[in-house]
Structure 1
């Protein structure tokens, strides 16, 4: 219980951090990146698994029904928001066409279970988007050397390669992987605006090893079950004669005479 309470407190701190200038800049970058990945996708149901209902992603996607989860209940929640844990989603298996996981794995004690649940509710050939903090980045280095346990450093930083391995084990193929937000974690809003030039792909790669967060797009591919039963060919049954009364008479054997053999004459018979 204590671990769950601490986890919820970290999620609340992370939600508040997104209201800061740095958090708003990161979230705007994530919104644009997720929108570009999902703009060509369509379907019936979309689910966003996140740490807050105030952080909407893929809000303008082409899906009939868009739902969102939040770990904490508050008054005034809309009808499309479901209060639940990201490790235990209250949805049927293979019921979603698109699932977006937004930092839920970063603030869970069981990140692999978060990914597993997202894959479970996703239908075959559906799409999964994963967004989380990148350990192989300048931000990841700051987390290692910093003793500050406030948001966002209280979250779990993972590499996108680790997430790719998990998705492959869950029969999902990663179609696109990238990192975003190459600016350092500065609190000054004006300085952040001046460093926006780093968001260009080539300059950022020369200056930073990787973006602050990773963004993966994977498609669930479930292979058809293989029939391992042996199919034996039916043996051909030869017809047997019908059963009947056995005659007591023994038939005489048929002897074929050769043309070169003369028949044997009985005594008193003329020779042929």
Structure 2
């Protein structure tokens, strides 16, 4: 598999994964992972089963630590990307070595941004999911301060060198593949800068963005369910409760149409 950059550059998957893994271990990357882990925490009571797969890099393995499935494993592009103890598979993410209809859930954290063929990747995920299985997609929002930062990055550095896919485009692809969107959320209202001494000053600014500009979150999370005709899907009311639960009590609920 090759990974695509906005100037029509493609590089080997191993190089991209290693660079992105290194960025995730920096303070800014750690801040993103922490918010993503908290947001996913409220999904796990709804996602049960035997197998949960993550396509990504080693630092992202922590995102599913609280999942209630029996077996968790991650697919990485090479042994050089493995820096943890646990179940992992070395394989190309565009051609999953997974039996069809064998997984109950798949997590794609920031994979579509660097994929040359994101739709093919989603097709592979759909084939591996069991009926009524869940696909969780995490991506950088191009219509945010993070997307703005990307346009001012003139070097091929990750994650700014990737293509930030709009959430509406990802949802269109999922619907074509017969997925039902059951929950969606925007997080990471802090700009792409690490503040240490000024963290207290910028906290109110983050809350203002969350209340008045909910669509400007730097990261979006989409949860979709694989539809199979003839089966009764999980009630929407349960996921509506989930969407409400992941909103901090101290702030107002975002308007859903802004997603």
**TM-score range, shorter-chain basis?**
0.7 to 0.9
Could you say which structure has the higher helix fraction? Answer: 2
Alpha-carbon displacement from aligned partner over 1:140-161 (angstroms, at most 9, x marks no partner): 1221233132122012201111
State the distance in 2 between where 1:192 and 1:72 align. 37
* Alpha carbons 1:53, 1:69 under 8 Å: kept: no
Equivalent of residue 93 in structure 1, options 70, 90, 100 = 100
State the distance in 2 between where 1:116 and 1:42 align. 22
| Aligned twin of 2:44 | 38
| Aligned twin of 1:155 | 162
**CA displacement at 1:216 relative to structure 2:** 0.5
Report the aligned-residue RMSD.
Answer: 2.4
State the distance in 2 between where 1:127 and 1:2 align. 26
- C-alpha spacing 1:206/1:84, structure 2 compared with 1 (3 Å): same
| Aligned twin of 2:58 | 53
| Aligned twin of 2:173 | 166
| Aligned twin of 1:112 | 119
- C-alpha spacing 1:90/1:198, structure 2 compared with 1 (3 Å): farther
Tell me, which stretches of 5 or more residues in structure 2 are unaligned?
4-9, 231-259
State the distance in 2 between where 1:193 and 1:151 align. 28
**CA displacement at 1:116 relative to structure 2:** 1.2
| Aligned twin of 2:248 | none
- C-alpha spacing 1:77/1:181, structure 2 compared with 1 (3 Å): closer
**CA displacement at 1:209 relative to structure 2:** 4.5
What TM-score do the two structures reach when normalised by structure 1? Answer: 0.74
Structure showing greater radius of gyration is: 1
**CA displacement at 1:199 relative to structure 2:** 4.7
The range that moved more, 89-98 or 180-189, is 180-189
**CA displacement at 1:101 relative to structure 2:** 0.7
Q: Tell me, what secondary structure is at the counterpart of 1:55?
A: helix
- C-alpha spacing 1:152/1:158, structure 2 compared with 1 (3 Å): same
**CA displacement at 1:204 relative to structure 2:** 2.1
What TM-score do the two structures reach when normalised by structure 2? Answer: 0.78
**CA displacement at 1:55 relative to structure 2:** 1.8
State the distance in 2 between where 1:100 and 1:2 align. 20
* Alpha carbons 1:138, 1:210 under 8 Å: kept: yes
| Aligned twin of 2:19 | 13
**CA displacement at 1:192 relative to structure 2:** 4.6
